[in-house]
Chain A
Amino acid sequence: MRSIWAVAVNTVKQALRLKIAAVFIVLLLVLLPVMGLKMTGDGTLKGRMQAFVSYGLSLTTLLLALLTIFTAAYTLTSDIKDKQVYTVLTKPIRRFQFVLGKLFGVILLDAALLTLFSVIIYSITILLPALLHADNDQIAQVRDEFFTARVSLTPAEPDISEELNRAYDKLKQTGEVPAGVDENPIARNNYRNELARRIGLRKRAAVVGEALLWEFNNVKPEDPNLFIRFKYDVAVNPQDLSIYSRWTIGDVRQYRLGGQVETPMYAADRKDLIRTFREFEVPADAVASDGYLGLEFFNVPLNDTVVIFPLEDGLELLYKADTFTANFIRAALLIFVRLVFLAALAVFAGSFLSFPVAILLCLSVFTMANMSGYIGESYHVVGAQPSGLYSYLLKPLIMLLPEFDQVSPSKFLIPARLFSWSSLGWLSFTTVCLKALPLAIMSLLIFTYREIAKVIV
């Protein structure tokens, strides 16, 4: 353990004294405060803060990721190239201890730098409202919509398979399905998907004078307030680009059963801009004791267009579940987990490749991890006609790629969504244990059995 620690400390000294880290540190120290003061976002205080946290954390992640790759690949390859391993490995230290020391050194450096920059970003964020002399309304908005960690509930997708089959059969009978589609499985699948999308959209659309009801179960707010966040889409643009609406919120079952009204019902008359996220607050006592909450939107006759709530993010029910600070700490830990993976990757590459090749490999993997969504999509396209090469070689490799773009700090910090400990735990487990650990073990094995002073003639 002592020798691992000695190598780790030496690695940190190397990164700091060879000024690899200095470049990144100076860059961040300059850029972060400038970003804090210069970024305007959409002009509101909330927008500014969202922009700062998002770009600040993304920049920190990117630069620390590059620093990790550089340091980890350099520290091992340079020791081999400049032959310091000759003096070190002839001392009573096992080779795996040497590699572990290098890995821990890089992780140690990452932890220290990440802590430093997280604290800087956090402090600037907290101080920003005071620095910008924001008014009380804006401060209140930031408190409710930014400095919080909210759980988001989306309405359950209704089961439309029955309806889809009926609609498809009907279209087939009337001969409206284009020729050849029914015989070709791929074309039929595409056609049915399009049909399903339309049926789904119809269920999220209200013509004038019609009401849409969404039902939520298991709503358990800890905070006295609920937030409803929505976005309108329309068939025809209204003149002032706004939609009038009446919302009814509460246990709507009470109407149907005709019994005693036990929980309060709330109504809201609103006028909102289209194609923009809007939010309003409802007291949490509207939720029934069994966690049920009904949400009814009425397309009032003041409008003259169909109102559609887009799929995925058209409507959300939000309530506070944790603090911004806790969420921010989890965001930093998420970044840390990624840096650990990159350190393991770069040490692995450095254990058998030269510095430039190792860097190339790491940067490729890093880039791919940042566009894993796109790669996943391509996989679905290719997956329609699976081949042996794909299923046995490419697919496992893609599975091993970490998915940096799937969950990123900006994705939950900007809309102030809760990123729970369990999500973080699961992500850490898959990234560190399933993806980084095999790399680390491979690098230990390669380095242990490799001929250090190998000469090729």
Chain B
Amino acid sequence: MEYAIETFSLTKIFADWWGRSRVVAVDDLNLKVRTNEVYGFLGPNGSGKTTTLKMLLGLLHPTKGKAILLEGDATDPQISRRIGFLPEESYLYKYLTARETLDFYGQLFKLPAKVRKMRIEALLDMVGLKAVANRTVGTFSKGMARRIGLAQALINDPELLILDEPTTGLDPIGTRQIKDLIIELAKRGKTVLLCSHLLADVEDVCDRIAILYGGRIQAEGSVRDLLRHSDKTEIVTGRLSPATLEKIKQTLAGEHAEYTIGSPLDKLETFFINIVARAQQQAVPTSGAESRTQISEFLSAGTDERVRREAILNQLVSASPSDEQAANTDTQNVQPQPVPATSADENLLNRLTEQVDLKPVTTQPTKAEPEPAKSDQPDKSILDELTGRPSPDKKNAHPGDSANA
């Protein structure tokens, strides 16, 4: 089986009440996801990502074309028993407890009671909800519901995992966990279709990506190929002295090359915005939001950054008790993973959980503010991690590439 997902001219046109065609949500899409790759499906809001997923899974009927999953039709129980799906929101039964929820989905897969019980406990442990397993899902926070949603997608040990915005509502730690999980699943030979508009998520874990706009794939390829400018060279070093910089400039002047010297950018983000902007210039129709300017004038970059930092810090310190437990269990899960960058992650997680343990909950808001000033160096790295900026050697250690071949 070369492709886990294959679509042929998949098209969806939404009609109005009278049946007249109104919006082309997905337009002649030919998607090929290879077996055992992590495929990122990117696009701004309303670009047709979720519509595509719904068509793949048979929740929507394509106007034209065909989708093949695992060499069959996703509505066939023989095929769907090998697929795990996490929709854009978790869509769970609010009156069931976490454990009952997983049991219900387990029964739909006709798993024997023993296997079901074992998997439920393992999954609850993995997503860090063991302590609240007997609470109804309706009382859960969005992030907790997301974790249960992820657990239900994994209960059948799927070959193909389709995740729609898996990290929405999750705290940075949960986000990190999901990314690690995806990498781990890919290592174990599974195929993952990851649908997101959070670029950092995709960049860290995906082997190949497609960028969707107006229901069409605007670009597709491996992350590194897409992001590499072959006519440019980038050198990343530590901080350089003015003298060294001057020398480098002279050398470069000798080569008559144009150059810029500065700090590295969030590359995928730039790329993504370029793709969307290009699509907009070509006046590709979209059913979603159209952003003509990249950022509103009144939001200065500085404020934006500060607001974001504060928000992240508040989020971290105001974690609910259950989230603390989640974090505690997470630490154990993350530790044995052989990703080189995780030594930093471990520190991060340990520090975070220690902080949460030490600080009484009531004093959180006041503690949140002085922190960046107090310990500048480690906090910066935390924030980089949390905002999803990858460590440079991370991508190299990623195992998915070898699996493609």
Question: Residues of A with Cβ closer than 8 Å to B?
Answer: 2-3, 5-6, 10, 13-14, 17-18, 82-94, 451-457
Contacts and interface: CB of A to CB of B under 8 A. Distances in A.
A6 B156 CA distance: 16
Contact of B95 (A13, A93, A451, A455): A13
Given A88-B108, A91-B109, A18 B95 contact: yes
Contact of B92 (A2, A17, A87): A87
A94 B110 CA distance: 13
A71 to B, nearest CB: 13
A92 B80 contact: yes
Interface in B95-139: 95-96, 100, 104-105, 107-110, 136
Contacts of A92: 77-78, 80-81, 108-110
B116 to A, nearest CB: 11
A89 B59 contact: yes
B59 A86 contact: yes
B152 A452 contact: no
A10, A451, A454, most chain B CB atoms within 10 A: A10
B59 A90 contact: yes
Nearest to A86: B87
B83 interface: yes
B105 A456 contact: no
A90 B15 contact: no
Contacts of B219: none
A83 B93 contact: no
B108 A6 contact: yes
B91 A90 contact: no
Contact of A93 (B77, B96, B287): B77
B40 to A, nearest CB: 21
Given A90-B57, A92-B108, A453-B59, A83 B80 contact: no
B22 interface: yes
B83 A86 contact: no
A182 B108 CA distance: 73
Nearest to A92: B77
Classify chain B: how many residues form its interface, as a range: 35 or more
B357 interface: no
8 contacts: A10-B104, A87-B152, A88-B108, A90-B80, A90-B83, A91-B105, A92-B80, A452-B59
Given A87-B105, A88-B108, 12 more contacts: A6-B108, A13-B96, A13-B100, A86-B54, A90-B58, A90-B59, A90-B74, A90-B80, A453-B54, A456-B17, A457-B15, A457-B287
Contacts of A84: 91-93
Contacts of B108: 3, 6, 88, 91-93
B192 to A, nearest CB: 16
B107 A87 contact: no
A90 B85 contact: yes
A89 B77 CA distance: 10
Contact of B93 (A2, A14, A452, A453): A14
B18 to A, nearest CB: 10
B95 to A, nearest CB: 4
B307 interface: no
B110 A3 contact: yes
Contacts of A91: 80-81, 105, 108-109, 156
Given A2-B110, A457-B16, A94 B77 contact: yes
A454 B91 contact: no
A456 B13 CA distance: 10
B89 interface: yes
B107 A6 contact: yes
B66 to A, nearest CB: 16
Interface of B: 14-17, 22-23, 54, 57-61, 74, 77-78, 80-81, 83, 85, 87, 89-93, 95-96, 100, 104-105, 107-110, 136, 149, 152, 156, 287
A89 to B, nearest CB: 7
Report, nearest first, the 9 A-B pairs whose CB atoms are least far apart.
A92-B77, A6-B107, A17-B95, A92-B81, A91-B108, A453-B59, A83-B91, A86-B87, A90-B85
Contact of B60 (A2, A13, A451, A456): A451
B95, B108, B156, most chain A CB atoms within 10 A: B108
Nearest to B74: A90
Contacts of B152: 87
Contact of B89 (A14, A83, A88, A451): A83
Contacts of A83: 87, 89, 91
Contact of A457 (B23, B81, B110): B23
B16, B23, B85, B95, most chain A CB atoms within 10 A: B95
Contact of B104 (A6, A17, A452): A6
A421 B108 CA distance: 39
A86 B91 CA distance: 7
Contacts of A85: 59
A3 B110 CA distance: 7
Nearest to A91: B108
B11 to A, nearest CB: 15
A82 B15 CA distance: 22
A2 B116 CA distance: 14
Nearest to B95: A17
Contacts of B107: 2-3, 5-6
B201 to A, nearest CB: 21
B91 A457 contact: no
A295 B242 CA distance: 129
B264 to A, nearest CB: 40
Contacts of B15: 456-457
A316 to B, nearest CB: 53
A3, A18, A83, A455, most chain B CB atoms within 10 A: A455
A45 to B, nearest CB: 46
Nearest to B107: A6
B17 to A, nearest CB: 5
B95 A14 contact: yes
Nearest to A2: B110
B14 A456 contact: yes
Contacts of B287: 457
Contact of A453 (B60, B80, B89): B60
Contacts of A14: 93, 95
